[in-house]
Amino acid sequence: MHNVTLNNGVEMPILGFGVYQVPPEETEKVVTDALAAGYRSIDTAAAYGNEEAVGRAIRGIPRDELFITTKLWVQDNPAEENTRRAFDTSLRKLGLDHVDLYLIHQPYRDVHGQWRAMQDIHREGLARAVGVSNFHPDRLVDLIEHHDIVPAVNQIETHPFYQRTADQDLMRDRGVQIESWGPFAEGKNDLFTHPVLSEIGGAHGKSVAQVVLRWLIQRDVVVIPKSVRADRMAENLDVFDFALTDDQMARIADLDTGASQFFDHRDPGMTLQLGNHRLTD
């Protein structure tokens, strides 16, 4: 496994395992299979409803071998107090005394109050690194400019059809590590049978999924693919024995549409929908 070094010196695996949309009743087995395949970086969130199952699956694995990420959902005021309460709940559900990375999940409500609490959580050693998710450059820069701690990570939609190169350039300049969610675009635009990706895969004896993961890794993008199948989990890890050529990287770059394949976090309707959604413990 290759690691990236975050802006505070913490090392994070460049390839991990995500559990978004994995039902809670299936998550323990799925994560257990992922761990057996060799994954040690696991990404979950309070909003996924499966933190407890992740906690059960990782029990017994030496803590220093794991890199556990979870996320803070949108909080009402007082944001600082509620953020601490939400973090304590996540920590309890995971059965851990600290997490490796804690992210603001959505860029809504009082993100500055949430970030102040997350800075305290980090200073107390309860989260080795803190960061954000789904922040566009304007919101990310606003957060950086008004606080002491620069987010270590920004986890955003990143895949061949929405490549986020300008976002990544800004993050690199600001010391923020880009992390991809939705690396396969959930199969949109016939990704898994796309002729360009298929041809490149054939040249290396690799699947389209492996080509996409390798493309992200060569761009220094942390990625957390999800699968519920053990064979696909193993396949997704098998991407460190080949490299894409400059020409192949350029051909994939030409697939960028410059637009989300899901939804825009700057859309007022989405702001209302996500910003007003509340979780129950």
- Active site (annotated) includes residue 39: no
Check residue 50 and report its DSSP letter: -
CB 99 within 8 A of CB 70: yes
Strand locations in the chain, DSSP E? 3-5, 11-13, 17-18, 41-43, 67-72, 99-104, 127-133, 153-157, 177-181, 222-223
Angle, CA of 189, 183 and 102, to the nearest 5°: 145
Please report the pLDDT score of residue 1 as a whole number.
84
* Residue where the block lists tokens 């396949």: 235
State yes or no: 147 annotated in a binding site. no
At 224, is the secondary structure helix, strand, or coil? Answer: coil
> What distances in angstroms separate CA 168 from CA 9, 151, 219, 269, one per listed residue?
19, 14, 9, 26
**What does the pLDDT look like over 256-273, one tens digit per residue?**
999 999 999 999 999 999
**111-170 confidence digits (pLDDT tens):** 999 999 999 999 999 999 999 999 999 999 999 999 999 999 999 999 999 999 999 999
Whether 272 and 265 have beta carbons less than 8 Å apart is answered as: no
Distances (CA, A) of 127 to 19, 123, 154, 184: 20, 8, 16, 29
| Contact between 100 and 12 (Cβ < 8 Å) | yes
Separation in Å, CA 182 to CA 163, 167, 168? 11, 16, 16
pLDDT per residue as tens digits for the range 10-61: 999 999 999 999 999 999 999 999 999 999 999 999 999 999 999 999 999 9
Is the per-residue pLDDT at 238 higher than 80? yes
Separation CA 182–CA 226 (nearest Å)? 9
- Is residue 106's pLDDT more than 80? yes
With a cut of 90, say whether residue 281 has pLDDT above it. Answer: no
For residues 271 and 35, give the distance between their C-alpha atoms in angstroms, rounded to a whole number. Answer: 35
What's the pLDDT band for 280 if we cut at 50, 70, 90?
A: confident
Report how far residue 166's alpha carbon sits from residue 39's, in angstroms, rounded to the nearest whole number.
30
| Tokens representing residue 101 in the block | 């990375």
pTM: 0.97
Would you give the DSSP letter of residue 154? E
Q: Which of 48, 102, 108, 162 is catalytic?
A: 48
pLDDT given for residue 136 in this prediction:
97
